[in-house]
Amino acid sequence: MRGAAQRLIIAITGASGARYGIDLLRHLKTRPDIETHLVVSPSGWLTISSETGLGKADVEQLADINHPPKAIGDSIASGSFRTAGMVIAPCSMHTLAAVALGLSDNLIARAADVTLKERRKLILLTRETPLNLAHLRNMVSVTEMGGIIMPPVPAFYNNPASLDDLFADSTRRILELLTLAGDADRREWNGLQPG
Ligand SMILES: Cc1cc2nc3c(=O)[nH]c(=O)nc-3n(C[C@H](O)[C@H](O)[C@H](O)COP(=O)(O)O)c2cc1C
């Protein structure tokens, strides 16, 4: 494990909000205790390019290990490869459906399937609006299987000053859910302060 204590799988799929995955990777690059495994779908590369202007090399250098989505025999396709879990950020309705139905026809869906079967944490930052009944049913199915549906809904009570603040808040929440938050990532609500 290259000296890291934990491994985390991160997938970026073709929903809007590529920065959710990218900012998570950027943050984890400062955490030598976590080895990141990245898979980006072909549509994910399209949204990365159109929303961030980053190229493949820029994104791939953020991860410790990169896996092509067609590499169905890679390490993360097996339950024997121990991880702390998997985050799909952002998660398209297509990938949500694949996870809900247990389709393992690419490495993202297979790694998610394995994460669920091994009872590890699977977090899906689902992004679509409005939602149709298929989307809602698929979210219920994934929840029933133990996955966590976490639409990246920003909180405004923290008075975010920038988009950076909004993405940082999502990163913190993801790490909290995975119980991988470092001391600097923790936030605790102490009630509304007067004035
Ligand atoms: C610019 C762009 C934005 C998109 N945004 C979304 C989105 O927010 N949510 C979604 O479910 N699909 C979105 N799509 C459609 C998905 O990319 C498409 O369904 C694709 O098949 C998803 O494949 P993947 O899950 O393998 O990445 C978008 C497509 C493009 C080109």
Per-residue pLDDT tens for 59-113? 999 999 999 999 999 999 999 999 999 999 999 999 999 999 999 999 999 999 9
Residue 194 forms part of a structural domain: no
Q: Is residue 195 part of a domain?
A: no
* pLDDT, tens digit (0-9, with 9 covering 90-100), for 132-150: 999 999 999 999 999 999 9
How wide is the angle at C-alpha 188 spanned by C-alphas 178 and 10, nearest 5°? 25
Closest ligand 1 atom, CA of 106? Answer: 26
Give the mean model confidence (pLDDT) for residues 43-53.
97
Do residues 14 and 20 lie in contact, with contact meaning Cβ atoms separated by under 8 Å? no
What's the confidence (pLDDT) of residue 174? 97
Our answer on whether the CB atom of 29 is closer than 6 Å to any ligand 1 atom is no
Helix (H) / strand (E) containing 46: helix 42-52
Task: Locate the ligand 1 atom nearest the alpha carbon of residue 93 and give its number.
Answer: 11
Is pLDDT at 152 greater than 90 in this prediction? yes
The answer to whether residue 192 sits within a structural domain is no
Examine residue 74 and state whether it is found in any structural domain, yes or no.
Answer: yes
| CATH number of the structural domain spanning residue 160 | 3.40.50.1950
Task: Give the pLDDT confidence of 156-189 residue by residue, as tens digits.
Answer: 988 899 999 999 999 999 999 999 988 777 777 7
The number of domains in the chain is 1
- 68 in Cβ contact with 110 (< 8 Å): no
Q: Which domain holds residue 177?
A: 6-185
